[in-house]
């Protein structure tokens, strides 16, 4: 049974400078809720209760957000503004939060390996808060994936179709179609040029990983950009066992880009603001 979710959150957020010069990109608000809270809520709704964060310098706001602010709560106690903290209070009461630091930016694969001290020897989920995923009226993406993990018992990546001229922004998979929305991965390439891409099925920021991924990552040399790529490690895992790709149900917004961030804000304002 999966209990833990890892949040790699050590990046600098350079595409949002100067806003992210002193504020973690994961704390950028979508309407009045930070990106990281959407991710934690998705994990909690999927039944996960142990939230693990790989952070870096200047990320203390993440820890403070998932903690009690006695002075603030005292100031708004008994007022109509108390309701604005109900969501974070629920998460603080229901979940545990642990943190470790990635001291150098060496890629997503290295960030996940850094989180092993918080995960241990068990399967776990990974959420990249930059990717905001919403499935109105249905299970969240992580809940969908955990249901699949209970069936296949192997690593799973979430995928969506992207325009071919955008494949160089993503890890891209190809494989054997098991059913309309599930593929057994045969090929996985990190940010291929459109002419080199094996398909237009792009990996987005949701993963279920089996614990042997840590040993694979330790033996994975730096790849594209001189970084340890989780895509390379998953390809090795697929060659020796099984990795599934799942075309999820719902909407996904790339909040690491200004255009995606604005689209997510407009969507959430329309559907959730009261």
C-alpha atoms less than 13 angstroms from C-alpha of 147 in its C-beta half-sphere: 12
CA-CA distance, 191 to 178, in Å (whole number)?
24
**Mean pLDDT on 111-138:** 95
**Mean pLDDT on 61-75:** 89
Token readout for 57 is: 């310098």
Cis check: omega of the bond before 18, within 30 degrees of 0: yes
Give yes or no for a contact between 85 and 73, defined as CB atoms under 8 angstroms apart: yes
Tell me: the pLDDT tens digits for 221-255? 887 778 889 999 999 999 887 899 999 999 999 99
Q: Across the chain, which distance is largest between two alpha carbons, in Å?
A: 61
* DSSP bridge partners of 30: 33
pLDDT at residue 104 greater than cutoff 90: no
Residue 149: pLDDT band (50, 70, 90) is very high
Site of tokens 């399967």: 123
**Mean pLDDT on 34-56:** 96
pLDDT at residue 192 greater than cutoff 60: yes
**Mean pLDDT on 62-67:** 93
CA-CA distance, 221 to 232, in Å (whole number)?
9
Give yes or no for a contact between 43 and 51, defined as CB atoms under 8 angstroms apart: yes
pLDDT at residue 274 greater than cutoff 60: no
Residue 43: pLDDT band (50, 70, 90) is very high
Token readout for 21 is: 């010069």
Q: What is the pLDDT of residue 273?
A: 66
Q: What is the pLDDT of residue 106?
A: 86
Tell me: the pLDDT tens digits for 154-182? 999 999 999 999 999 899 999 999 989 99
> Of 199, 243, 233, nearest to 213 (Cα)?
233
Q: At CA 19, angle to CA 15 and CA 25, rounded to 5?
A: 65
Average pLDDT, the chain: 92
Q: How far is CA 154 from the centre of its chain?
A: 18
Task: Assign 224 to helix, strand or coil.
Answer: helix
**Mean pLDDT on 210-221:** 93
Q: What is the pLDDT of residue 62?
A: 94
pLDDT over 70, % of the chain = 99
Task: Assign 125 to helix, strand or coil.
Answer: strand
Token readout for 130 is: 């930059």
CA-CA distance, 118 to 101, in Å (whole number)?
11
- pTM exceeding the 0.85 threshold for the entire prediction: yes
Q: What is the pLDDT of residue 91?
A: 95
Q: How far is CA 190 from the centre of its chain?
A: 17
pLDDT at residue 134 greater than cutoff 90: yes
């Amino acid at each position: 049974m999966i209990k833990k979710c890892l949040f790699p959150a050590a990046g600098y957020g350079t595409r949002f400078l100067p806003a992210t010069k002193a504020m973690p990109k994961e704390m950028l608000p979508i309407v009045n809720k930070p990106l990281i809270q959407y991710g934690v809520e998705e994990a909690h709704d999927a039944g996960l209760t142990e939230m693990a964060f790989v952070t870096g310098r200047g990320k203390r706001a993440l820890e403070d957000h998932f903690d009690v602010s006695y002075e603030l709560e005292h100031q708004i106690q008994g007022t109509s503004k108390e309701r604005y903290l109900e969501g974070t209070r629920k998460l603080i009461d229901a979940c545990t939060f642990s943190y470790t630091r990635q001291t150098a930016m060496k890629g997503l694969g290295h960030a996940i390996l850094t989180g092993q001290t918080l995960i241990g020897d068990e399967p776990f989920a990974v959420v990249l808060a930059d990717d905001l995923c919403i499935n109105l009226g249905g299970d969240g993406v992580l809940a969908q994936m955990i249901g699949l993990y209970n069936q296949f018992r192997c690593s799973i990546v979430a995928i969506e179709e992207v325009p071919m001229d955008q494949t160089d922004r993503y890890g891209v998979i190809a494989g054997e179609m098991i059913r309309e929305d599930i593929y057994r991965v045969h090929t996985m390439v990190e940010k291929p040029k459109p002419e080199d891409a094996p398909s237009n099925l792009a990996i987005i920021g949701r993963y279920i990983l089996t614990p042997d991924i840590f040993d694979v990552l330790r033996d994975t040399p730096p790849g594209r950009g001189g970084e340890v790529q989780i895509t390379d490690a998953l390809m090795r895992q697929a060659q020796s066992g099984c990795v599934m790709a799942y075309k999820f149900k719902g909407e996904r917004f790339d909040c690491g880009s200004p255009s995606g961030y604005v689209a997510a804000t407009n969507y959430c304002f329309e559907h959730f603001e009261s």
